[in-house]
Amino acid sequence: MATERGRYYRDPAGGPDLISVTNALDVIGKPALVPWSAGLVADHVIAAPIPTARRARVEPSRLRRELVALPTGNADRAKDLGTRVHERAVALVLNAPYPADPEVEPYAIELARWFRLWRVDFDRDIEAIETTVVHRKYGYAGTGDLWVWLPTGPFRRRQLWLIDYKTSAKKPATTVYHEQPLQLAALRHAPVWLLPDDSDGEALRVRRTGLLNLRPRSHRLIEVPSGRKQFRAFLGAVNTARYLHNAPSAYPTILPDWAPGSPDRKAA
CB atoms under 10 Å from CB of 210, counted, come to 21
Q: Transcribe 171-209 into DSSP letters.
A: S-TT---TTHHHHHHHHHH--EEEPTTS-EEEPPPP-EE
Global confidence as pTM: 0.86
**Predicted confidence pLDDT, tens digits, the chain (268 residues):** 888 888 999 999 999 999 999 999 999 977 666 776 778 788 888 998 898 888 989 898 988 988 888 777 877 888 899 999 999 999 999 999 999 999 999 999 999 999 999 999 999 999 999 999 999 999 999 999 999 999 999 999 999 999 999 999 989 999 999 999 999 999 999 999 999 999 999 999 999 999 999 999 999 999 999 999 999 999 999 999 999 999 998 998 888 888 887 776 665 5
* Nearest-angstrom CA–CA distance, 34 and 26: 15
